[in-house]
A and B are shown apart, each in its own frame.
Chain A
Amino acid sequence: MTVSTDQHKEEKKDVTFRVFRFNPQVDSKPYFDDYKIPVERGITVLRSLNYIKEHIDASVSFRAFCQAGICGSCSMRINGLSQLACTTQVWDVLAKCREEGIIKIEPLRNLPLIKDLIVDMDPLVDKMRHYSNWVDSTMAESEMGKKEFLVSEEEFLRYDKATDCILCASCVSECSILRANKDYVSPAVLLKSYRMNVDSRDGIHDLRLAELVKDHGVWDCTHCYRCQESCVKSIPIMDAIHGIREDAIECRGAKDTSGAKHAEAFMEDIEKKGKLVEATLPIRTNGVVWTLQNLLPMAVKMIMKRRTPPPPPLVKSSKGIKVFRAMFREMSEHVKQDQKSHKK
Chain B
Amino acid sequence: MKPFDVVVVGGGGAGLYAAMEAMKTNPSLNIAVLSKVYPNRSHTSAAQGGANAALANKAKDDTVEMHIFDTIKGSDYLADQDAVDVLCSEAPKIIRELDNIGTPWSRMDDNTIAQRPFGGAGRPRCCYCSDKTGHTILQTLYEQCLKKGVIFFNEYFALNLSVNGSRSRGLIAMNMKTGKVEAFPARTVIFATGGHSKMYWNRSSNAAGNTGDGQAIAYRAGIPLKDMEFVQFHPTGLRKSGLLITEGARGEGGYLVNRDGERFMARYAKEKMELGPRDLVSRSIETEILEGRGFDSPAGKYIHLDLTHLGADLIKSRLPQIREMSMQFEGVDPIEEPIPVRPTAHYSMGGIDTDNFGRTVMDGVYAAGECACVSVHGANRLGGNSLLDILVFGRIAGRMAAEESGKFEPGIISDAELKEQLAATRSNMQSSGHFERYGALREELGQTLAINVGIFRESSLLQQGIRDIAELKERFKKVRVFDSSDVFNTNLMQVLELKNMLDLAETVAAGAYAREESRGSHTRTDFPVRDDAKWHKHSVATLVNGTLSLGEKPVTMGRYELQERTY
Interface of A: prevailing SS: loop
Q: Are B111 and A70 in contact (CB under 8 A)?
A: no
A215 within 8 A of B: no
Q: Give the chain A neighbours of B325 by CB distance below 8 A.
A: 68-69
Q: Give the chain A neighbours of B487 by CB distance below 8 A.
A: 23-25, 114-115
Q: Are A133 and B111 in contact (CB under 8 A)?
A: no
A204 CB to closest chain B CB (Å) equals 10
Give CA–CA (A62, B490) in the complex, Å: 8
A32 within 8 A of B: no
A132 within 8 A of B: yes
Give CA–CA (A139, B97) in the complex, Å: 10
Interchain CB contact (< 8 A) of B488 among A3, A118, A201: A118
Question: Interface 1/0s, chain B 126-167, versus A by CB < 8 A?
Answer: 000110100110011001101100001010000000000000
Q: Give the chain A neighbours of B99 by CB distance below 8 A.
A: 148-149, 201
Given the known A-B contacts A64-B208, A68-B46, A141-B24, are A151 and B107 also in contact in the complex, defined by CB atoms under 8 Å?
yes
A12 CB to closest chain B CB (Å) equals 13
Q: Are B102 and A132 in contact (CB under 8 A)?
A: no
Contact residues on B (Cβ < 8 Å of other chain), bracket: 35 or more
B310 within 8 A of A: no
B351 within 8 A of A: no
Given the known A-B contacts A42-B331, A66-B46, A118-B488, are A6 and B101 also in contact in the complex, defined by CB atoms under 8 Å?
no
Q: Are B46 and A71 in contact (CB under 8 A)?
A: yes
Give CA–CA (A63, B177) in the complex, Å: 12
Q: Give the chain B neighbours of A143 by CB distance below 8 A.
A: 100
A286 within 8 A of B: no
Q: Are A54 and B130 in contact (CB under 8 A)?
A: no
A73 within 8 A of B: yes
Of the candidate stretches B35-43, B254-262, B371-379, B382-390, the one touching chain A is B35-43
Given the known A-B contacts A54-B439, A65-B208, A145-B97, are A71 and B146 also in contact in the complex, defined by CB atoms under 8 Å?
no
Of the candidate stretches B227-235, B396-404, B456-464, B478-486, the one touching chain A is B478-486
B433 within 8 A of A: no
Give CA–CA (A328, B37) in the complex, Å: 51
Give CA–CA (A309, B93) in the complex, Å: 64
A124 CB to closest chain B CB (Å) equals 9
Given the known A-B contacts A66-B46, A166-B45, are A5 and B96 also in contact in the complex, defined by CB atoms under 8 Å?
no
A147 within 8 A of B: yes
B529 CB to closest chain A CB (Å) equals 37
A87 within 8 A of B: yes
Q: Are A4 and B298 in contact (CB under 8 A)?
A: yes
Q: Give the chain B neighbours of A148 by CB distance below 8 A.
A: 55, 96, 99-100, 112-113
Q: Give the chain A neighbours of B208 by CB distance below 8 A.
A: 64-67
Q: Which of B107, B109, B152, B439 has the most CB of A within 10 A?
A: B107
Give CA–CA (A108, B486) in the complex, Å: 22
Chain A residue nearest to B144 (CB atoms) is: A134
In chain A, positions 128-164 with a C-beta closer than 8 Å to chain B are 128-129, 132-137, 139, 141, 143-153, 156, 159-160, 163-164
Give CA–CA (A9, B240) in the complex, Å: 13
Question: Interface 1/0s, chain B 206-242, versus A by CB < 8 A?
Answer: 0111000000000000000000000000000000110
Given the known A-B contacts A160-B130, A202-B102, are A134 and B96 also in contact in the complex, defined by CB atoms under 8 Å?
no
Give CA–CA (A121, B152) in the complex, Å: 13
Q: Are B104 and A55 in contact (CB under 8 A)?
A: no
Q: Give the chain A neighbours of B331 by CB distance below 8 A.
A: 5, 42
Chain A residue nearest to B97 (CB atoms) is: A145
Q: Are B488 and A61 in contact (CB under 8 A)?
A: yes
Q: Are B146 and A139 in contact (CB under 8 A)?
A: no
Q: Are A145 and B93 in contact (CB under 8 A)?
A: yes
A9 CB to closest chain B CB (Å) equals 6
Q: Give the chain B neighbours of A72 by CB distance below 8 A.
A: 40-41
Q: Are A163 and B129 in contact (CB under 8 A)?
A: yes
A125 within 8 A of B: yes
Q: List 13 A-B contacts (CB under 8 A).
A: A5-B298, A55-B439, A59-B482, A61-B490, A62-B490, A63-B490, A67-B208, A68-B244, A129-B146, A147-B96, A149-B99, A149-B100, A151-B111
Other A-B pairs, 6, CB within 8 Å; known A26-B485, A65-B207, A160-B130: A23-B485, A59-B485, A71-B42, A116-B488, A118-B488, A199-B102
A-side interface residues toward B, CB under 8 Å?
Answer: 3-6, 9, 23-26, 42, 53-55, 57-59, 61-73, 87, 89, 114-116, 118, 121-122, 125, 128-129, 132-137, 139, 141, 143-153, 156, 159-160, 163-167, 196, 199, 201-202
5 tightest A-B CB contacts, nearest first? A135-B102, A58-B482, A134-B143, A54-B439, A150-B111
